[in-house]
Structure 1
């Protein structure tokens, strides 16, 4: 059996690994590992982003008194991370494969040095034929600083590691052209970057035990595909789903986002996924907006900034908007918030956002 990709990131959601009673589905975990082991043995590098720690913790311990949502999540995830990684390690060991646990938080992606350290960690693990098992560290995250879902985390990691594909496993077969509960609804099997019609059919409700939903998945999928990484959204409850999707010889119904042109700059890729880390906003005039969107590579000069919002330091990510409030892009600021206006009055202006650290929105 041969496969389409040599380097992939797989995200498996809570709805795949959690049984109806809210406890961990160990049998589904084992089947997932069996598939990853086959890929690994065929030379495919795999990063696994796995939910399920809360379910694992819930399986181990029942609360003797009611806790608030954050406290109960911290308790169950702290207990569950141990059980989950031990379970993964046991299953991988059956195949002679070593796995490693990587816990991360949103803050780790907002700082460039932390980001590069994490990238180096993944590279070292993969070079040594170790399968990284990644999850958000719910034990220390607080609500406003958490990822929307592990979908968001998996997109960041796929981009950071230059994966050829991101596989998102959920509890439905993909994106439908209507309500999945209606018999007339059909799976949209292929989505190109320029396609827009499918967006109106995305349901906004969340499902089951996950924090996200199909709206989150489709948004991450589109951004990741723009980055040159193919994205497959499929049903993780189907047996052999991974090997069937990735095999050159088999077909299974699911949604495939076709990859766009791969971005060459790792810094720009980091900034592309850093919108939720923005510490402030730069409002720019029409002249600056036209210059940035022209065919010529252009940096943002302080003179083009009409307003500075928020408090940020040199090196922080900032959001760039026009005077009508429309998104232009994101960038890494060369100045702190209080110095941008002062630099705008200087005769020899240096960019507030250099082109090398600028990502323009394509929407």
Structure 2
């Protein structure tokens, strides 16, 4: 492993609930140890590894039966509060066997909604990596509810991988990857590679979740395609296989689905924006001339003269959607005005742009 490929110099490893928990919901310490062993080997080789782990709610579920008056959301928050302590203490103990420190990073979706909070998280993880500490990231399920939740930790792992400039994300599930049918069917074949031009892969994926997890293969596929389009390789593999992470890094012939990264890498701001559509506070409708300019080969800012209508209420610095006159989305960007001022300046010339080109993400 002396000649490590560039794509593996910094990686993220996402571990699903169905990998780290047993059928009764208790933590699978033996499986956690195997994953920690893999990460320890890579860590000793000088590879930066960020671990994104699920399992807090599942780990806490078996410890207490909620009272009848405790609603479903509160029950999950309680289980997460109990389970996260168990989850992290076990990771610290297991990494400690290899004289490696592990640091907990709890995130909520809202933490990624503005650039300042986004950079705070990035700086924290950078500091951990610089000091040879393994960042162990999980969603803070004690405070994440309804619309403030990530779809699942696959979405969180995508945001972390993009934010930290990881060359690869390895998503560990309880199957070998994406199949052409039900994985247990002997006639189903593993799809080994998904390239930028691969089409109709979604037809093979059932929109269901399994076990204790909140997400499913469709979410993994969606995140993987987005990351690959940003220049990050993604591998979906079976976390119940021993040494799967090190085998992938070593280039061994093991089963997985590989989403091949494009050659074009986006800058950090555009990576942030590409994962921020859910945080949009309002919208701006643009005329055909502005739409065509934004979609052109030359980078263009959104000028107020090209604006037709402002929708919603937003502050300066908020993320807003860019729509054409038919309501079709063109992209998203960071507004330089609040909605009230932007509405007054519709059609104005010689004013600073509503959205600068370097704070804009145009849909492909």
What is the TM-score of this pair, normalised by structure 1?
0.96
Give the Å deviation of 1:238. Answer: 1.3
Matched, 1:127 2:124: no
Matched, 1:303 2:321: no
The equivalent of 1:286 in structure 2 is: 288
Give the distance between the partners of 2:346 and 2:215, measured in 1 at CA.
42
Give the distance between the partners of 1:185 and 1:283, measured in 2 at CA.
46
Give the Å deviation of 1:64. Answer: 5.0
Give the Å deviation of 1:348. Answer: 1.6
Please provide the CA RMSD for this pair. Answer: 1.5
Matching of residues 162-181 of structure 1 within 5 Å:
162-181=165-184
Q: 1:51 to 1:208 in 2, by over 3 A?
A: same
Contact 1:331–1:359 (Cα < 8 Å) also in 2: yes
Matched, 1:86 2:62: no
Contact 1:8–1:47 (Cα < 8 Å) also in 2: yes
Give the distance between the partners of 1:307 and 1:171, measured in 2 at CA.
48
Matching of residues 1-363 of structure 1 within 5 Å:
1-2=1-2, 3-4=4-5, 5-65=8-68, 67-248=70-251, 250-362=252-364
Aligned partner of residue 242 in structure 1, secondary structure? helix
- How many residue pairs get aligned? The number is 361
Give the Å deviation of 1:59. Answer: 3.7
- Stretches (4+) displaced over 4 A: none
Alignment gaps of 5+ in structure 1: none
Give the distance between the partners of 1:185 and 1:304, measured in 2 at CA.
51
Contact 1:245–1:252 (Cα < 8 Å) also in 2: yes
Contact 1:229–1:262 (Cα < 8 Å) also in 2: no
Give the Å deviation of 1:292. Answer: 0.6
Contact 1:54–1:77 (Cα < 8 Å) also in 2: yes
Structure 1 residues 96-125: Cα deviation after superposition (integer angstroms, max 9, x where no partner): 000000001111100111111111111110
Give the Å deviation of 1:264. Answer: 4.8
Give the Å deviation of 1:197. Answer: 2.4
Structure 1 residues 20-64: Cα deviation after superposition (integer angstroms, max 9, x where no partner): 112221211111111111111111110000001112212433435
Aligned partner of residue 336 in structure 2, secondary structure? coil
Contact 2:231–2:266 (Cα < 8 Å) also in 1: no
